[in-house]
Amino acid sequence: MYIYVAVFTSYDLIYALEMAYEDQFLGGLIAIGAAANFIPFFVYLKKNEIYRARGVLIFCIVLAFLILILKSKEIISLL
7, 33, 29: which is closest to 18 by C-alpha? 29
What percentage of the chain carries pLDDT values higher than 90? 25
Residue 3 to residue 9: CA distance in whole angstroms: 10
| pLDDT for the residue 78 | 63
Whether the full predicted model's pTM is greater than 0.75, yes or no, is no
Query: Which stretches of the chain are DSSP H helices?
Result: 2-8, 13-22, 26-35, 38-46, 50-78
Residue pLDDT, tens place only, 17-52: 788 888 878 788 778 878 888 899 999 999 999 999
Whether residue 74 contacts residue 24, with contact meaning beta carbons closer than 8 Å, is answered with yes
